[in-house]
Homo-oligomer: A and B are copies of this chain.
């Protein structure tokens, strides 16, 4: 038995799902919002602003970093995290394309077999 089955789905579907999963936890949403709101890219004291332990926050940071959504630069003793805005823009476009396709398609109407 294989879990997290991926064969049979398009690369686009898998990529969108991977990016969606990155946003599928409020902590990671909050981290991205935090990084966006700070003028300078703040370091791991991100944990101080979240209701989670430093370890857990570090784990979430690594997940975002693995997808290249954020980047970290070691600056002496502290680590400076920043958003990868270029990638975020591309991801935004992909989400938009998906939602446009999902909402502009022929919706169920009274003429159809069912009436949702």
Contact = CB atoms under 8 A, between A and B. Distances in A.
Interface in A2-52: 5-10, 13-14, 16-17, 20-30, 32-33, 35-37, 39-41, 50-52
Given A26-B14, A107-B85, A40 B92 contact: no
Q: How many copies of this chain does one complex carry?
A: 2
Contacts of A106: 39
Nearest to A21: B24
Contacts of A83: 102-103, 105, 107-108
A41 B114 contact: yes
Interface residues of A, number: 62
Interface of A: 5-10, 13-14, 16-17, 20-30, 32-33, 35-37, 39-41, 50-52, 71-73, 75, 80-83, 85, 88-89, 91-92, 95-96, 98-103, 105-108, 112-116
5 contacts: A39-B106, A40-B112, A40-B113, A40-B114, A88-B99
